[in-house]
A and B are shown apart, each in its own frame.
Chain A
Amino acid sequence: MQLRTLNGDIAKFTSRGEAAARGLSDFMARDTSVAYTFVAPAFFLLLFLVAYPFVLSIWFSLSDARVGETGSFVGLDNFQRLLRSDIFRQTLKNSLVFTSIALLLKTIFGMALALLLFRVARFKRLIRGAVLLPFIVPTALSTLVWWWMFEPLYSVVNWTLKSLHVVNKDIPWLPDPYLAMFTVILVNTWRGLPFFAITLLAGLVAIPREMYEAAESDGAGPVGRFWYVTVPLLKPVLAVVILFSAIFTLADFNIVYILTKGGPMNMTHLFATYSFALGLQGGQIGQGAAVSLFLFPILLGVVFTQLRLVRKSTTYE
């Protein structure tokens, strides 16, 4: 029996290994194929680890799924029910307050820290490494230390303040709703600051020295140099950092879960902690998914505008 290929040649029987090797080398010879081959693992990883769970969670949010049950389609019922819940409305408020204040603080202090680090000449590496620590230490661990510092009975912060006669009674860091919010914002800021500082520092290093020299010779002082050289040139970096941080901050879970569990009186519940309480503790996966997806459309808008802004500001005229 003869085997014929499409163009009529008689196919030669070759050992399987040889054919595969030749096929592979032909395939690899094409640039685009190579590109696709190398992109494929990342693509499949994204598909299975990001896209699949994401689509699944959208389905969950539109269904009455419970743990172990796929549930049936209920439209926007979950979202409507959430909007009727006072706890959810409180969570929404908390999340917005938490994210905006923490972002603002991280931007201001992150910028200040980056400028300081930029000026540090001795022990540069050691100091830059040390600054990254809050970001590297597992959040659950570092937050436990913060909890211990603010814990009502043994708070070292209160003990120190009382010993220094700054206050004469315990400050209710975690029991007071507003102070509790302040505390979770503080810890989030502390944790996120290195990310801002180090990324902005990288941006600062990339700014050509000539720009500053030119500004200086034009008579610009330190403030002028900061506003008219540093800030405009850092804008793209800053926008990306704020974008990432906004997403991370909004999705924070560990800090609130360890410090307050969403209390007192739900005044520190964030989307993630409330979603956990509903979806995993209560087994109402549909409701839980609706909580975590609630801000998705808004977030999408923010990401879109911010990325557009970044693109615009990087094209120099």
Chain B
Amino acid sequence: MVNRRHFLRVTAGGAAGVLVAGGAPAIAQTRELTFLTIASFVPETDKELKRQFEDWGAKNKVKVRLDIIAHLQLVTKKASEVQARSGHDLTALGPGLGDADLYFDHLVDLNDVAADIAPKNGGWLNQNDYLIRGKWKLLPWWMPPFPMAVRTDLLEQIGEKNPDTWEDWLRVGKKGKAIGHPFGTAMGHSGDANVTLLSIMWSYGASYVAKDGKTIAINSPQTRQAMEFVKRLYTEAMDPEVVAWDDASNNRCLNAGKCIAIHNPISAYESAKRDKVLVPGTQKEIADVIDHVNTPRGPVDRRTTTGYWCVGIWNFAKNVDLAKDFLRYHFQPDNQARWVEAGHGFNMPFLTNLTKHPVYKSDKQYRYIPEVAKVSVPPSWPGPTTAASQQVLDLFIIPDMFAQHATGKMTVDQAIAWAEKEIQEIYAGRKRKF
């Protein structure tokens, strides 16, 4: 009979044996590859990724585990995995390329993988943007380009046609607001606010950092011009609530039938189509009266940015080679094509051939997406992406600068001086020690 003492002796002996041997018995050992990613706004994308991951696992006899978390949780998850030097093998990185600089010493060099992927897919879109300190520390994975989503029925109602410049959109917003349908762009602590306000800055010829990545260039007449424009946009064409908007607010504003236009990826349209949202008070589907046009042009340029979602391998990963192998598999043209199709074009890869994917011709809504992708640059543009440039985004310095002026809290000079000082501090504190 097994009594308590006997049981304890046997189990303790077994546990000690495992400890002495330094691992589980060989029979229990299988190779496992783990991947941490974020939940996509178009869930079919995740399903396709999971399918590819499991498919690759079955072919290579590797156990795979895909963990999908909300994108807001990724920040803490990355930091804690690096701090503990343990966690997943593959990880989603971003938004932005800043993680490559921030976690430079903790990511595996992917020069070989990037070089293998490029020729099969017609090359990377803007290769130099993705090299951080001259190295491929991550692979740019997908971006949701930012076109302008507009209600065509309202546009017709106010007698406007083909608005293209930021000034056009101000006029449209003004007329729209007069009939209860304001223009909507976030100006608070949200990623969308960073994107749209940076787009406006660049379109007016301004930028916050120079090409050298050191000179803070925000104090310029071009920034003043952009700020005066945004103040007019805020007071004449928008509702004051935009300073408290999060990333989903503009989607809600469009789909609730309130906003005449929003600067946003096609996610609002996708959810309106999926949920068959109606224009309030009618039987008309809102997706039928939404159109997407190119990101606006300013007096100097047409340029925008977006969330650059990336993928990388931690250098403390247990299976670096397997992880690289999966990346090569996932970035094969046919797998990429299937993945883009599953995402209905929301997840555009940074690979030239994929910008010509048939999905962008399948619906007239997507026709401008490749155009927008062409003028999309990293948020640090024209400077390189660094941990400092990433922090300017994380602390929402640009939206706060615009909002402080637009809401009348500060004069244009005060707001610029405020931002200049904050950005200077961030860049000074981030100087690398070599």
Residues on the B chain within 8 Å of A172, using CB: 240-241, 244
- B400 contacts chain A at the CB level, 8 A cutoff: yes
Q: By the criterion of a CB under 8 Å from any partner CB, how many residues of chain A are at the interface?
A: 35
Best-surrounded residue of A176, A261, A282 (most CB of chain B within 10 A): A282
- A175 contacts chain B at the CB level, 8 A cutoff: yes
Contact A282 B243 (CB under 8 A): no
Our pick among B79, B102, B189, B253 for the contact of A261 (Cβ within 8 Å) is: B189
- A154 contacts chain B at the CB level, 8 A cutoff: yes
Best-surrounded residue of B83, B85, B241 (most CB of chain A within 10 A): B241
Contact with A along B357-399 (1 / 0, CB 8 A): 0000000000000000000000000000001001100111000
CA gap between A152 and B182 in the complex, in Å: 14
Contact A85 B422 (CB under 8 A): yes
CA gap between A154 and B258 in the complex, in Å: 11
Residues on the B chain within 8 Å of A266, using CB: 400
Contact status of A280 and B244, CB under 8 A, knowing A81-B425, A86-B418, A153-B258? no
Contact status of A170 and B102, CB under 8 A, knowing A154-B252, A282-B394? no
- A275 contacts chain B at the CB level, 8 A cutoff: no
Name the residue on B nearest A273 (C-beta). B189
Residues on the B chain within 8 Å of A81, using CB: 425, 429
Name the residue on B nearest A267 (C-beta). B409
Contact A264 B403 (CB under 8 A): yes
Contact with B along A201-235 (1 / 0, CB 8 A): 00000000000000000000000000000000000
Contact status of A175 and B75, CB under 8 A, knowing A81-B429, A153-B252? no
Q: Is the interface of B mostly helix, strand, loop or mixed?
A: helix
Q: How far is the CB of A68 from chain B (nearest CB, A)?
A: 4
CA gap between A287 and B387 in the complex, in Å: 14
* Number of A-B residue pairs having CB atoms within 8 Å of each other in the complex: 104
Our pick among A68, A86, A87, A175 for the contact of B244 (Cβ within 8 Å) is: A175
Q: How far is the CB of A31 from chain B (nearest CB, A)?
A: 30
Contact with B along A261-275 (1 / 0, CB 8 A): 111111000000000
Q: How far is the CB of A283 from chain B (nearest CB, A)?
A: 5
Residues on the B chain within 8 Å of A261, using CB: 188-190, 246
CA gap between A98 and B194 in the complex, in Å: 27
Please report which residues of chain B, range 108-166, place their CB below 8 angstroms from some CB of chain A when the two chains form the complex: none
Contact A68 B188 (CB under 8 A): no
- B249 contacts chain A at the CB level, 8 A cutoff: yes
- B421 contacts chain A at the CB level, 8 A cutoff: yes
Contact A263 B244 (CB under 8 A): yes
Contact status of A152 and B249, CB under 8 A, knowing A67-B102, A260-B189, A280-B76? yes
CA gap between A278 and B391 in the complex, in Å: 8
CA gap between A44 and B189 in the complex, in Å: 41
- B407 contacts chain A at the CB level, 8 A cutoff: yes
Contact B79 A153 (CB under 8 A): no
- B68 contacts chain A at the CB level, 8 A cutoff: no
Contact B395 A277 (CB under 8 A): yes
Residues on the B chain within 8 Å of A84, using CB: 425
CA gap between A261 and B72 in the complex, in Å: 12
Contact with A along B239-273 (1 / 0, CB 8 A): 11111111001001100101000000000000000
Contact status of A68 and B83, CB under 8 A, knowing A175-B241, A175-B244, A180-B244? yes
CA gap between A266 and B391 in the complex, in Å: 15
- A281 contacts chain B at the CB level, 8 A cutoff: yes
Q: How far is the CB of B224 from chain A (nearest CB, A)?
A: 19
Name the residue on A nearest B402 (C-beta). A265
Residues on the A chain within 8 Å of B243, using CB: 175, 263-265
Name the residue on B nearest A180 (C-beta). B244
Contact B394 A281 (CB under 8 A): yes
Q: How far is the CB of A83 from chain B (nearest CB, A)?
A: 11
Residues on the A chain within 8 Å of B241, using CB: 152-153, 170, 172, 174-175
A to B CB contacts below 8 Å, 7 in the list:
A180-B244, A264-B188, A264-B407, A277-B395, A280-B76, A281-B391, A282-B390
Contacts A87-B395, A175-B240, A261-B246 known; 9 new A-B pairs at CB < 8 A: A81-B429, A151-B249, A153-B252, A175-B241, A263-B396, A265-B404, A278-B391, A282-B387, A284-B429
User: 8 closest pairs, A vs B, by CB?
Assistant: A152-B241, A174-B244, A263-B189, A175-B244, A261-B189, A68-B82, A281-B394, A264-B243
Residues of A within 8 A of B (CB): 66-69, 81, 84-87, 151-154, 170, 172, 174-177, 180, 260-266, 277-278, 280-284, 287
